[in-house]
Structure 1
């Protein structure tokens, strides 16, 4: 029996194991979120304080996503994930015990929610970066959508179970079940036999790894556009998470089980949309898909804000779920597919820094709006802004750029420098000096504009690969002579450059070299920074 297209990644055993474990932990997380949100409506029933629960769970991802991504790229990812899961389990256990003993106040709930969020923040980039390790690239987009489907299956059943658990056993029961669910993930990670990539080079230093991740992101147009569009989408879509518990309790006059059912309705919409997304890709590109998701999410928020009967609320949450997975999974796929493996966790960390920043500020803003405008109008205003912003940023493309090609002849070999002199081996091994890299070109003046355009792309390639700075100089006496300079932090960082380049990067460098018109290939050289000898 052939699997549906959306389920094909489950053919891969490692992905299937981790996917099922994540299903369990996400169910526990949604149960806890339901319990925490409802508990706050009793401890401090104001829109601002209820939204603070959501802010506390999201703010750590905003603060820690970049360092978490850097750590996930430079340490053993499996051990790192086990440590993060253990932290969440311990924090969840403390939360459950304090709630059970009646020793938990509103700010204690916020603090422990923040602690659990910190574990989630450290876990998220590494967990997202494991997907390309356990499925081939051909199945990667489907695997990302399937992760979204799994997440929203738990969104459907977790809040429903959580709502009934709160009604029957109290919020502390949801906290305890959440802590238990993360033990399942630890067991799955112990069974995962990960094959770590081998480079033959020493591990990157923490600060250097962060700097390389930021440099890569700054010089990746598709990733930058994905981050911008993700921030705008989640900024206004976040209003649901801060205001839904109060809308259910105050505007609709319903109990905790209805909060669970409303979130379950969203999960059903998200799961259904997830199965449709693979076929939607053949009709609509990523840009259009995210714009449609923002508009639909805006309509759902307006409808939810004006709901005074449970049926309207359930319909609005169903539409919101469709919009959420459509936008979130498309943006996540764009972020993952636009980055190579060496920087994947860092790039995802920066993407999550921006998107969870949008969620954090959006949740806080909606809480303030609920205080000033009322819950219904705050949701409606967020919906209008969600739709408008989605259309406004449509021009920032998240589609991958085409690689340069030459129809007339094959691309030439990229300029390569001479090997390092044996006499400098000890100095290079010290790895304490910066390295200046140089390529010299001779360019027909008629090709000047084309060469400058290619050099703009080369600049992004060099900076994405770890360069600290890049410059291009033209000989004032001989306009056909050009020199490209870029600086890297150390000899080891220079050695990493080749392994960091994608096929597209190499094609760009080769296309620039193809414009060279000298009698010999472009000359490449490397220079080691030597401190000046102090004067006597």
Structure 2
């Protein structure tokens, strides 16, 4: 079995050797900055209009709940049709959604029900876009061994945008209003669409499918849940999403009510999270092996849980910013390490369906967590809610860690079958 680490000329970021991936990276980087600006503008606008933690939960719920119900169908669609053309379509619809928010906000007629409706529309788009984006990654890299690096760079790119988007968004909201965040986000999709159109994508050979969509979905579920390691990762991702990521909607409350700040404070908290996440993403992107990735997946929710408990106790902005570094780090290690593992072991004809299940376990569960987090914060306060979230994440990480010996046995045969060179240990590791 070849050892890729034996080649001293191996570039630090090998996925960037592929032209298609470079185009994807450039377009997505600009668009994701706009998306984070829209996120911070949306939660700030909703809280300004309602002053209600429950409504924050409702808006978060409406934006993600379509992924819970429709992502499996999106996975079947992605496995059966061109992922490239699918992504072009989802980017066009996402641009329309952001520009609609901008028009409503610029004209001053926007109301919460507009935001909820457009959030639902974006959720419908994401139920197809997310599995398509994940499954498209292997088509962007010219060498199979570069796939894990491409996935890690994707995660770094997402969280690098989290450094810039919230900071710029907070400043724009404070000076000009939320509408301009929506407008810039809408225009940023032009960069993504142009990058996609500039790619040279070879037509993918699509296997002849037998059975209706429900049978195809059932086949994906059976495949995933009969594989112990995949099943465990999907369940852990669902737990972290349901409890650990409630902090996303609670940060607005912390910024305004606990830390006595404004939109800039929320932006700074998000930037701090982005710094921590980018650090974790860079670490994963520069790893030359998936060896011990199970330990990372187990460690991530523990880091996140401890950070959430510490954040719940903080009443100081500097200390909160420091804690948010570890919130971002724990989150990205969980998301990117799990994604890397799943993309490495999955059979290509089931890639779209497995990524749809991952979308459902992560993004699909997220709205239920947002809804619960909003109601808990309304009754017991945001700090106590974060404490509960942290404890559950720590327990989930410990339980997954105790299952690692069994999971390693289950995946060893798959590694041998696929001849995955990346399982070889780096000499400096």
With normalisation by structure 1, the TM-score equals: 0.72
Q: Helix, strand or coil for the counterpart of 2:365?
A: helix
Deviations along 1:222-264, one digit per CA (max 9) or x if unpaired, are 2212211211222221121121011101111111012111101
Whether the 8 Å contact between 2:82 and 2:204 is mirrored in structure 1 is no
Indicate how the Cα distance of structure 1 residues 23 and 385 shifts in structure 2: closer, same or farther if over 3 A, else same: same
- The aligned runs of 1:5-404 (5 Å cut-off) are 5=12, 7-135=13-141, 136-198=143-205, 201=208, 206-277=213-284, 285-397=292-404, 399=408, 401-403=411-413
Unaligned runs of 5+ in 2: 1-7, 420-429
Per the alignment, do residues 284 and 252 of structure 1 end up closer, same or farther by CA in structure 2, a change over 3 Å counting? Answer: farther
Contact 1:84–1:119, Cα closer than 8 Å, also in 2: yes
- Rounded Cα–Cα distance in structure 2 between residues aligned with 1:20 and 1:405: 32
SS at match of 1:197: coil
| C-alpha contact (below 8 Å) 2:305/2:392 kept by paired residues | yes
Could you say what secondary structure the match of 2:411 adopts? coil
Q: 1:259 to 1:215 in 2, by over 3 A?
A: same
State the 1:299 CA deviation.
Answer: 1.2
| CA positional deviation for 1:21 | 1.1
Asked if structure 1 preserves the Cα contact closer than 8 Å seen for 2:137 and 2:150, the reply is: yes
Identify the range of structure 1 (36-45 vs 358-367) with the bigger mean alpha-carbon deviation. 358-367
Change (3 A) 1:372 1:187: same
* Aligned-pair CA distance for 1:277: 3.0
Distance in 1 of aligned mates of 2:414 and 2:40: 50
Q: Which has the higher contact order (CA 8 A, sep 6+)?
A: 2
Aligned length: 408
Q: Would the alpha carbon gap of residues 213 and 102 (structure 1) be closer, same or farther in structure 2, given more than 3 Å must change?
A: same
CA distance in structure 1 between the partners assigned to 2:291 and 2:401 by the alignment: 13
Change (3 A) 1:208 1:187: farther
CA deviation map 1:41-60 (0-9, x unaligned): 11111111122232222222
Q: Quickly say closer, same or farther: Cα 1:294–1:64, change in 2 above 3 A.
A: same
Post-superposition shift, 1:366?
1.4
What residue in structure 2 maps to residue 420 of structure 1? Answer: none
Q: Distance in 1 between matches of 2:267 and 2:412?
A: 45
Q: Any idea what SS the aligned residue of 1:393 has?
A: helix
- Normalized per residue, the structure richer in helix is 2
- 1:313-342: per-residue Cα shift (whole Å, max 9, x none)? 101111111111111101111221121111
Question: Would the aligned equivalents of 2:207 and 2:349 in 1 still touch at CA under 8 Å?
Answer: no
Offset from partner CA, 1:190-249 (integer Å, 9 cap, x none): 112211223574787544433332332233222212211211222221121121011101
- Partner of 2:204, secondary structure, is coil
- Structure 2 distance, partners of 1:358, 1:169, is 34
Give per-residue Cα distances to partners, 1:472-530, cap 9 Å, x unaligned.
xxxxxxxxxxxxxxxxxxxxxxxxxxxxxx769xxxxxxxxxxxxxxxxxxxxxxxxxx
1:183 is displaced (CA, Å) by 2.0
Q: Give me the whole-angstrom Cα distance separating, in 1, the residues matched to 2:145 and 2:134.
A: 17
In structure 2, the partner of 1:467 is none
CA-to-aligned-CA distance 1:277-332 (integer Å, 9 cap, x gap): 35678697122212211111011111111121111110111111111111110111
Q: CA deviation at 1:85?
A: 0.9
Distance, in Å, in 1 between the alignment partners of 2:365 and 2:379 is: 21
Aligned pairs for 1:408-447 within 5 A: none
- Structure 1 vs Structure 2 CA RMSD: 2.4
Give distance in 2, aligned partners of 1:369 and 1:288: 31
Question: What SS class does the counterpart of residue 278 from structure 2 fall into?
Answer: helix
For 1:139 and 1:36, how far apart are their aligned partners in 2?
36
